[in-house]
Copies of this chain bind each other. A is one copy, B any other.
Amino acid sequence: MEDLERLVADAREGVPRAVGKLVSLVEDASPRLRELAAALAPYTGHARVVGLTGSPGVGKSTTTSALVTALRADGRRVGVLAVDPSSPFSGGALLGDRVRMSEHATDPGVFIRSMATRGHLGGLAAATPQALRVLDAAGCDVVLVETVGVGQSEVEVVALSDTTVVLLAPGMGDGVQAAKAGILEVADVFAVNKADRDGADATVRELQHMMRLNRVEKGPSWRVPVVRTVASSGQGIDDLVAALDDHHTFLADHDRLGEGPRRRARAEIEAIALADLRARIRSLAGSTALDALAERVVDGALDPFAAADEVVASVRG
């Protein structure tokens, strides 16, 4: 194991290899994460976190890449964290997506990392804030967190952002689905990508209509904007950057910039505590060992809720 202080110092200088190694420590839930958290603490608190999410095919990676270009043109240092919820099946798609980011691979002002969390006992809720601290300490002004695929875990991740962008594309029926599924509440900004395609106007109108019906406001007076983009050509990306900055200004004006960091800290603490408790559950021995209890449940001698009561009582000592 390399010296942690050395790696942190190199990461602060923007050495990509050092940043990469530190994110790897996070992915692998290294026993040194405690030490890493302490070493990074003095250098964090600067980066803004922007989450991007949406169904497969709406153009998340292309939009992320276009945002990187625009933010770099603006002189900002950018981190990209592509979160893969450790699916054994998403590897292929992930690889394909990442290739599109290759134009930024040689830019020293950009750090791009795909992150899996297979080894991480605390899951995404713990691993993502930890990786964000690495990119924050490395001097990123903005970190884009792109979630790959669909699933509950991604929803948890977007909740960790300061600003959440929900991407949609015309003609995917996403508008209605979005309303049904409650993603209206998750979005701080909507981007209707592929806005040069048929149906874009309808999708924008649908979203605006639903937001009026639902009167979704992110706190007093933030009206969720709907931005049209064609990420593949860069069209509308400046509008999207402006919407992100507007939301940041709004949070600052309302003394709410601390909300994102507090949400992240809260989720991380809870996830670490639950991972600790899970480890205690799995190390129970004797009559409250999981295997012994499972046997009694299968035999019909105990119901699973009563078994869980015994587990909780044992863990609580």
Tell me if A86 is interfacial: C-beta within 8 Å of chain B: yes
Tell me if A24 is interfacial: C-beta within 8 Å of chain B: no
Tell me if A101 is interfacial: C-beta within 8 Å of chain B: no
Tell me if A100 is interfacial: C-beta within 8 Å of chain B: no
Tell me if A210 is interfacial: C-beta within 8 Å of chain B: no
Please tell me if the beta carbons of A33 and B305 are within 8 angstroms of each other in the complex: yes
Q: Which residues of B contact A220 (CB under 8 A)?
A: none
Tell me if A202 is interfacial: C-beta within 8 Å of chain B: no
Q: Which residues of B contact A298 (CB under 8 A)?
A: 45, 258, 261-262, 265
Distance (whole angstroms) from the CB of A256 to the closest CB of chain B? 13
Tell me if A294 is interfacial: C-beta within 8 Å of chain B: yes
Q: Which residues of B contact A263 (CB under 8 A)?
A: 294
Question: Among the listed B54, B174, B258, B294, which residue makes an inter-chain contact with A269, where contact means beta carbons less than 8 Å apart?
Answer: B294
How many angstroms between the C-alpha atoms of A263 and B297 in the bound complex? 11
Please tell me if the beta carbons of A86 and B315 are within 8 angstroms of each other in the complex: no
Tell me if A106 is interfacial: C-beta within 8 Å of chain B: no
Please tell me if the beta carbons of B270 and A150 are within 8 angstroms of each other in the complex: no
Q: How large is the interface on A (under 10, 10 to 19, 20 to 34, 35 or more residues)?
A: 35 or more
Tell me if A196 is interfacial: C-beta within 8 Å of chain B: no
Please tell me if the beta carbons of A41 and B88 are within 8 angstroms of each other in the complex: no
Question: Among the listed B154, B261, B269, B305, which residue makes an inter-chain contact with A37, where contact means beta carbons less than 8 Å apart?
Answer: B305
How many angstroms between the C-alpha atoms of A174 and B270 in the bound complex? 36
Please tell me if the beta carbons of A273 and B151 are within 8 angstroms of each other in the complex: no
Distance (whole angstroms) from the CB of A310 to the closest CB of chain B? 9
Q: Which residues of B contact A303 (CB under 8 A)?
A: 34, 37-38, 41
Please tell me if the beta carbons of A155 and B186 are within 8 angstroms of each other in the complex: no
The answer to whether A265 and B304 touch (CB under 8 A), given A87-B151, A274-B278, A312-B277, is yes
Please tell me if the beta carbons of B177 and A92 are within 8 angstroms of each other in the complex: yes
Please tell me if the beta carbons of B272 and A183 are within 8 angstroms of each other in the complex: no
The answer to whether A262 and B41 touch (CB under 8 A), given A89-B150, A177-B92, is no
Tell me if A216 is interfacial: C-beta within 8 Å of chain B: no
Tell me if A317 is interfacial: C-beta within 8 Å of chain B: yes
Please tell me if the beta carbons of B150 and A87 are within 8 angstroms of each other in the complex: yes
Question: Among the listed B123, B129, B281, which residue makes an inter-chain contact with A273, where contact means beta carbons less than 8 Å apart?
Answer: B281
Please tell me if the beta carbons of B315 and A297 are within 8 angstroms of each other in the complex: no
| For the complex of A and B, 8 pairs with smallest distance between CB atoms | A88-B181, A151-B151, A272-B308, A265-B294, A273-B311, A266-B294, A265-B297, A273-B308
